[in-house]
Amino acid sequence: MHDKLRSHNTVDTFPLNGSLSEGIEHHLKKTLGLGLRGVLSIKDAVDQKLYLHIYKSLSLALRDKIMDKWIATNQEYKNKEVKQLFYLSAEYLTGRFLGNNLINLGAMKQVRDTLDSMGVNLNEIEDLEMDAGLGNGGLGRLAACFLDSMATLQLPGHGYGLRYDYGIFRQEILDGFQVEHPDQWLQHGNPWEIQHEEDTVIVKFGGQLHRKNLMQGKKKTEIKGYEPVAAVPFDTPVIGFKNNTVNTLRLWSTSVPDYNKFDIKAFDKGDYEQALKDVLSHEDLTMVSILYPNDNHDPGKRLRLSQQYILVSASIQDIIRSYKKANNSFDGFSQKVAIQINDTHPSLAVTELMRILVDEEGVNWDKAWDITRKTCAYTNHTVLSEALEQWDGHMMKELLPRNFEIIEIINHDFCELVWEQYPGDMERVRRLSILENGKIRMAHLAIVGSHSMNGVAELHTRILKDQVFREFHEMFPKKINCKTNGITPRRWLLKPNPELANLITGKIGEGWITDLQELRKLEKFVDDSEFLNGLLEIKRRNKERLKDYIHKHNPVKNARGEIVERIEVNPDSIFDVQAKRLHEYKRQLMNALYILMLYNELKDNPSKEITPRTFLFAAKSAPGYAQAKGIIKFINILARLINNDPDIRGMIKVVFLENYNVSLAEILIPAADLSEQISTAGLEASGTGNMKLALNGALTIGTMDGANVEMAEQIGEENMFIFGLNADEVKQLKSGYYNPEEICRNHKDIQKIMDQLCSKKLTSIVEEREVLHRIAESLMREDRYLILKDLPLYKETQEKVALLYQDKMAWARKVVFNIAGMGKFSSDRSIQQYSEEIWNLQETPVQ
């Protein structure tokens, strides 16, 4: 294996010395009890091949080492009485902890050497850890990057979330179809978390409201006959990069789950409710907790509402409990506490904070409302209407009677305000109202209950202001603001691409790791051929590492799961990567259709020479999203057709990488030459994979959408492959006339692929023909995402990509401008802006 690729040489700063071995041995012998079977040293564990135990005891030993910093950080925040930020998110897609913690602790080399001296390879130990996949995609990974940046910037900021028993499903591709398996990430225990039973809180569901009369005509509301659910917190340390800060990610668990009750067969069909309903009571239902595998789609399920309320109620209770330890009035609450609501999933934070302040702490309504709005801020991540959460009013009233009542009061007051500002405009009141048609529009609640709503890129924020929430913007012109997303350079360059990190550090020093704008200095070296060759060689080695991974871990499997074939890819070909959740608006289908067109050209011209290319797809589809699953099947039909056709002479290859997750991303992204960011303009709020790929030296082919627009500003449009309709043109076309059949009439190559999809040419299997037919039909009937419209320009642009790749040095020069332009897209910059413009935190170094 390419060991060099995974070691790195930034200077270690954390004193571990011999004490680390002692720590590991202590945990092997005593914590894990292996002393009883004769394991008295690490060597003994190695001899007995107890690698999982080595992983666990190493992690526990490291956790012991950071404990003092963790305690000191808490003390510092308490003593200085600094304002603290609590990031509320239903998702944290953190991936593995061990490698990342070693990097941030500055202990990677020592640990690698210590283990090497005992004949243990750290990489193999790292691979034993399960990913913490407590998120779907971009939103969850963003939350994880933000935690890393807050700790690195020495800001008092913590995460609250849910400790799902099952994270995002494990995906298998069998006979080209996606099959889902439950993700048992906790099956071997989790050495990074600490359970705090003493901080258990009770979350109340259902019940009846009772009014008590107090003095001076005041009333108090109490809930009686509710169903209590105990939420137990588990804390995970969030370690800053080579500083003393250790913040906390606190995840709530509601379960002593009975795994036997969980029907795994029904789970496979993607039907969570059914999987659980028959066998579990409502009480149990809220106890086994599962991540909903939908991204950008809200199925409106009751169980999901329960989860969201557990997150919100437990977290707000916890925040208030610790606030009260240091304060005896709520007057200064918003000077000490900030709450960031990550999409609308935790937007009940608004009503829960109101409920506790008013009902339990006796604060009067107007004052509580003032505190709530000054404390809360909301981030929007989507403009897709099917993703905007709306809860059924009856469901909410039954499950959360007091929170529902509070929504009614807030809405009443808010509608009155609208009416005052726009007298007589009843239609406007209706459009802005939180409650409409028996539904609660959670985004409206979040906007009204916060002092800030931010978009995640400039274009996205423009669309929020001018279109989706135009009338809110009119009423509160200062509320909507932009915080362009970013990624942490520690996990997305330093850790997964150590050779590139070293090459960069050799040129400009290691300042870039915590100040990514330093990368701009690389522009000086665009004519330095040694540097350019270095970039190309490193990319080549990263591609070989991916080639080995694919050969070993990504074989073609039949319906029974038997291996049919091992896949060989050509590292001299362009590695063309589209890795993201599968969604129609992201247009994986456009990429696939282009591949079919290219295949046709090669079949028509058997002697044609092209730039060899490997098309790599990685994507999970929501289990219930039939069209997306059909596209996965289509890509795999293409792969079978093309990879086995001798006429193609290996010039193009199609590979679907199964089970895309953070750990696979860390192998895939450093190996990419070309990054596919081809969403229908206006629909991808930001994207963050675009940033990760460019930072690792891939060139982008993309539309002017999300953060691509700002990347083009930083990198120079001439150093990217931008094509297609822009957001304004999409809007215009959608409101006017568009006939996809016309595109077919004018483009013979497109007409041909549509015919193929509807004919028997691509496959002889009936079930597969139906999949292809459905795809063709959706394109011809509506083509909602304007795939056929953009396809001709996409094809033209892909031809430019192929041409440029022939000139290695010209390609490498563009790579330099891409990496050099990525400074803006550090999550450190995003967090600095959140801190200064929304949260008002103070940098708080720990001694």
- Contact status: 695 vs ligand 26Q (CB under 6 A): no
Number of other residues whose CB lies within 10 A of the CB of residue 810: 12
Tokens of 659: 């089970």
Burial class (CB in 10 A: 0-12, 13-18, 19+), 21: middle
Contact with ligand 26Q (CB under 6 A) among 101, 686, 696, 700: 686
Segment interacting with ligand 26Q (CB under 6 A) among 36-44, 69-77, 290-298, 764-772: 290-298
- Distance CA(213)–CA(478), nearest Å, equals 40
- Contact status: 126 vs ligand 26Q (CB under 6 A): no
- Contact status: 597 vs ligand 26Q (CB under 6 A): no
Tokens of 650: 């290996």
For strands 227-239 and 194-195, give the pairing.
antiparallel
Told to judge if 479 belongs to the known catalytic residues of this protein, a careful annotator would answer no
| 346/670 with CB nearer ligand 26Q | 346
- Contact status: 494 vs ligand 26Q (CB under 6 A): no
| 131/295 with CB nearer ligand 26Q | 295
- Contact status: 57 vs ligand 26Q (CB under 6 A): no
- Contact status: 142 vs ligand 26Q (CB under 6 A): yes
For the bound state, the minimum distance from the C-beta of residue 460 to ligand 26Q, rounded and expressed in Å, comes to 8
- Contact status: 340 vs ligand 26Q (CB under 6 A): no
Q: For residue 490, what is the DSSP state?
A: I
- Contact status: 584 vs ligand 26Q (CB under 6 A): no
Told to judge if 586 belongs to the known catalytic residues of this protein, a careful annotator would answer yes
- Contact status: 304 vs ligand 26Q (CB under 6 A): yes
- Distance CA(514)–CA(593), nearest Å, equals 41
Q: Tokens 């720990």 — which residue?
A: 846
The DSSP string of 433-484 is: -SEETTEEEHHHHHHHT-S-EEESSHHHHHHIIIIITHHHHHH-TTTEEE--
- Contact status: 381 vs ligand 26Q (CB under 6 A): yes
| 486/498 with CB nearer ligand 26Q | 486
Residue 700-729 contact track with ligand 26Q, rule CB under 6 A, x = bound: ------x-----------------------
- Distance CA(522)–CA(51), nearest Å, equals 41
Q: Which residue is nearest to ligand 26Q (CB)?
A: 138
Told to judge if 580 belongs to the known catalytic residues of this protein, a careful annotator would answer yes
- Contact status: 380 vs ligand 26Q (CB under 6 A): no
Q: Which of 27, 158, 304, 381 is catalytic?
A: 381
For the bound state, the minimum distance from the C-beta of residue 684 to ligand 26Q, rounded and expressed in Å, comes to 5
| 136/643 with CB nearer ligand 26Q | 136
For the bound state, the minimum distance from the C-beta of residue 495 to ligand 26Q, rounded and expressed in Å, comes to 20
3-state DSSP call for residue 386? Answer: helix
CA 637 to chain centre: 28
Contact with ligand 26Q (CB under 6 A) among 148, 389, 499, 749: 389
For the bound state, the minimum distance from the C-beta of residue 713 to ligand 26Q, rounded and expressed in Å, comes to 17
Q: Phi/psi at 642 (nearest 5 deg)?
A: -80, -45
| Amino acid identity for residue 163 in this structure | R
Segment interacting with ligand 26Q (CB under 6 A) among 12-20, 265-273, 282-290, 294-302: 294-302
CA atoms in the 13 A half-sphere facing the CB of 645? 19
Segment 416 to 475, residues that bind ligand 26Q, using CB under 6 A:
456
- Distance CA(133)–CA(164), nearest Å, equals 9
Segment 666 to 685, residues that bind ligand 26Q, using CB under 6 A:
684-685
Q: Which of 586, 587, 640, 814 is catalytic?
A: 586
Contact with ligand 26Q (CB under 6 A) among 131, 298, 576, 710: 298
Count of residues engaged in binding ligand 26Q, rule: CB under 6 A: 24
For strands 390-392 and 439-441, give the pairing.
antiparallel
**Do residues 669 and 576 make contact, with C-beta atoms less than 8 angstroms apart?**
no
Segment interacting with ligand 26Q (CB under 6 A) among 166-174, 354-362, 686-694, 742-750: 686-694
Q: Tokens 């329960």 — which residue?
A: 306
| Amino acid identity for residue 810 in this structure | A
Told to judge if 505 belongs to the known catalytic residues of this protein, a careful annotator would answer no
Long-range pairs for 639-646: beta carbons < 8 A, 24 or more residues apart = 639/176, 639/556, 640/176, 640/556, 641/599, 641/762, 641/763, 642/595, 642/599, 643/567, 645/599, 645/603
- Contact status: 296 vs ligand 26Q (CB under 6 A): yes
- Contact status: 622 vs ligand 26Q (CB under 6 A): no
Provide Rg for the chain, Cα atoms.
27
Contact with ligand 26Q (CB under 6 A) among 147, 387, 589, 652: 387
Q: Which of 304, 581, 587, 769 is catalytic?
A: 581
Quick one: which of 197, 108, 94 has its CA closest to 143?
94
- Contact status: 587 vs ligand 26Q (CB under 6 A): no
| 292/531 with CB nearer ligand 26Q | 292
Q: Which run of H or of E encompasses 596? A: helix 588-604
Q: What is the dihedral of CA 397, 403, 404, 410, to 10 degrees?
A: 180
Q: Which of 344, 688, 700, 797 is catalytic?
A: 688
- Contact status: 826 vs ligand 26Q (CB under 6 A): no
- Contact status: 136 vs ligand 26Q (CB under 6 A): yes
Q: Which of 692, 789, 824, 829 is catalytic?
A: 692
- 194, β-bridge pairs: 235
- 235, β-bridge pairs: 194, 250
- Contact status: 338 vs ligand 26Q (CB under 6 A): no
Helices (H), 380-436: 393-399, 401-421, 426-432
For the bound state, the minimum distance from the C-beta of residue 379 to ligand 26Q, rounded and expressed in Å, comes to 7
- Contact status: 176 vs ligand 26Q (CB under 6 A): no
- Contact status: 137 vs ligand 26Q (CB under 6 A): yes
- Contact status: 167 vs ligand 26Q (CB under 6 A): no
For the bound state, the minimum distance from the C-beta of residue 491 to ligand 26Q, rounded and expressed in Å, comes to 15
Told to judge if 37 belongs to the known catalytic residues of this protein, a careful annotator would answer no
For the bound state, the minimum distance from the C-beta of residue 716 to ligand 26Q, rounded and expressed in Å, comes to 22
Told to judge if 381 belongs to the known catalytic residues of this protein, a careful annotator would answer yes
Helices (H), 29-170: 42-47, 51-80, 98-105, 108-116, 122-126, 138-152
**What is the binding site for ligand 26Q (CB under 6 A)?**
136-139, 142, 292, 294-296, 298-299, 304, 381-382, 387, 389, 456, 485, 684-688, 706
Q: Which residues are known to be catalytic?
A: 381, 580-581, 586, 688, 692
